Structure 1
Amino acid sequence: MDFISVVNQHFQLLTDQEKVIITYLQEGNYQIDDLTSQRLADACFVSRASISRLLKKLEIDHFADLKYLVKVSHCESLVPSVFEEVVTSYHMYIDQIFEKLDISEIVSVLIKTDVLYLYGTGNEQKLEVETMRQLFTALGKQVIIFFDKGEYDYAKAGFGVNDLLVLFSYKGESSEGIAILEDRQFLGVKRLVFTQTSRNTMAQLADYQLYVPTESVKTPTRLTYEVSTTFYFVIDKLFFAYQQVIDGEKV
């Protein structure tokens, strides 16, 4: 079994501190052969006992076993991506989005929304947010974008009970995104998260979730490029579904 599968099986049991350790291991900005439990603890600002508790939760007997799973995962991810394989995956993703993704509840929420507030956790997500703003502004919806938590803190005083807060995040572990969703002063505002999977903190904190598959491509420098065109497909699907409902009400 690969490292990601092991983590996903036990994700519900992990604390925020343990998720930080998992994120560090996934990013791979270290030499795996030189990694010890103490070095991992120091890098994540935790104790060795925290590493031991994580191993126990993941049902991994020894730190060496953890290193092996992570090493195999990194080796597999460093295989050069073939464009045809990415395209094949996208055919499958598009089929899932347009044939199987049920957005009826989200569209109903959008219809009843007075003001749509949008936030993207990264640079690419901010571009997706801007696309959504343009489309829904064209449909007559009032849309407000904020670019960081400071702008959110300023804007939240104007939130109404019929407003919707939408956050875009690939991994769903953004510290700012989590802080916004945990803001208990404004729990009356409905919250929707666009993210890759349900197994992340932001998705679990939101009232509504849209899970959008993407394709991760490893570069020679170990940086990950996220082929996230599917996020735009979902935005388009929301736009057309919303427009159809509005047109039907006008008839």
Structure 2
Amino acid sequence: MRLEELVNKHYDKLNHSDLYIWKYIFNHKKDCCNLTIDELANRCNVSRTTILRFAQKLSLKGYSELKIYLKWESEDKEFNEKDYLKVVCNDITKFISDMQEKDFSSVCNLMYNAKRIFVYGTGAVQSSVAAELKRIFLSGQECIYNIQGEAEADMILNTISDEDLIFLISLTGESDHIKRLAKQFKLRNVPIISITKLKNNTLARLSDENLYINTSMHELGGGKTYESTTLFFTLAEMIFLKYSMYKNELEKEDKN
């Protein structure tokens, strides 16, 4: 689990000082790899105890473990700057490996117990991912309702209940519409599974379960940039495969 995931997971535990520390670390990851706890505390104008408590709030044993995470992520960044083609390929390979090991039981449990499952994606890519998720599950004779467009999403608010489940797919998790929708679903006690890129975001904090992808922004020359979002589609297939395995295991247990 990366630091961004830990911050999202434990966000409610963090106070103003913790968030300031995280903001500094996020913007200076490479520098922070080589800082002692006292040096980081001095740069953030807090005590070394506050730094230690911040690490512990993220479920880390202490500052040493926090630095290990920073070193891993700094090494990833250095690699990213060398060759964006290698980075994209590496991201795909690493993502698939991580998903193989990731425990999807809580996500699958929400899906299995839902009366109906909805999916809504904001933006062109995310809408395509929502459509793909619906298509994949249909091949397994499972129905997922794909909400298309903001108007339809608003209409669903009148019919959805706490017995249902919704996947919300957003690149940043920060658009005004997706945040408003998530808050409305939360008020209705509708379970939410968010799918976003790996960063601290409002949608993830409002959701019951979070799934992330890594996206990499690359300079192509001539002022052009490219952000790879292929992993959204890979994740959709992983959700289907993990859920199919989950159901098969339950059926085996019932037979026994």
TM-score of the alignment, normalized to the shorter chain, above 0.5? yes
Q: Determine the structure 1 residue equivalent to 2:240.
A: 239
Work out whether residues 136 and 239 of structure 1, in 8 Å CA contact, stay in contact via their aligned partners in 2.
yes
Distance in 1 of aligned mates of 2:107 and 2:86: 33
Shift of the 89–247 alpha-carbon distance from structure 1 to 2, 3 Å rule, reads: closer
Q: Equivalent residue for 1:138? A: 139
The equivalences for 1:105-184 within 5 A come to 105-183=106-184
Q: How far is the alpha carbon of 1:13 from its aligned partner?
A: 7.0
Question: Counterpart of 2:91?
Answer: 89
8 Å CA contact 2:165–2:192 kept in 1: the answer is yes
Distance 1:192 1:162, change over 3 A: same
Gaps of 5+ in 2: 17-42, 46-77
- Give the C-alpha shift of residue 134 in structure 1: 0.8
Q: Is residue 98 of structure 1 aligned with residue 100 of structure 2?
A: yes
Q: TM-score, normalised by structure 2?
A: 0.62
Q: Distance in 2 between matches of 1:86 and 1:127?
A: 20
Mapped partners of 2:238, 2:160: distance in 1: 26
Q: Separation in 1 of the partners of 2:241 and 2:186? A: 34
Q: 1:58-84: CA deviations, max 9, x gaps?
A: 969xxxxxxxxxxxxxxx9x9685312
CA distance in structure 2 between the partners assigned to 1:93 and 1:115 by the alignment: 29
Map Cα deviations across residues 70-119 of structure 1 (whole Å, 9 max, x no partner).
Answer: xxxxxx9x9685312321233222222222x2211101111111211111
Structure 1 stretches lacking a partner, 5+ long? 15-57, 61-75
| Paired AA for residue 93 in structure 1 | F
**Equivalent residue, structure 2, for 1:25:** none
**CA–CA separation in structure 2 for the residues paired with 1:121 and 1:237:** 20
1-structure distance, mates of 2:106, 2:123 = 26
Q: TM-score, normalised by structure 1?
A: 0.63
Indicate if the aligned counterparts of 1:213 and 1:230 stay in contact, CA closer than 8 A: yes
Q: Distance in 1 between matches of 2:208 and 2:133?
A: 19
Counterpart secondary structure, 2:232 = helix
Number of positions where the alignment pairs a residue of Structure 1 with one of Structure 2: 188
Identity across aligned pairs (percent)? 22
Residue 200 (structure 2) pairs with residue 199 (structure 1)? yes
Instruction: Give the Cα separation in 2 of the matches to 1:114 and 1:221.
Output: 51
3-state secondary structure, aligned to 1:225: strand
Equivalent pair of 1:215/1:226 in contact (CA under 8 Å):
yes
Q: Aligned ranges for residues 20-39 of structure 1 at < 5 Å? A: none
What's the offset of the Cα at 1:128? 0.9
CA distance in 1, matches of 2:142, 2:196: 23
Q: Residues 120-146 of structure 1, C-alpha deviation per residue, up to 9 Å, x if partnerless?
A: 111111111111011122333332222
Tell which deviates more after alignment, 116-125 or 181-190: 181-190
Counterpart amino acid of 1:98? Q
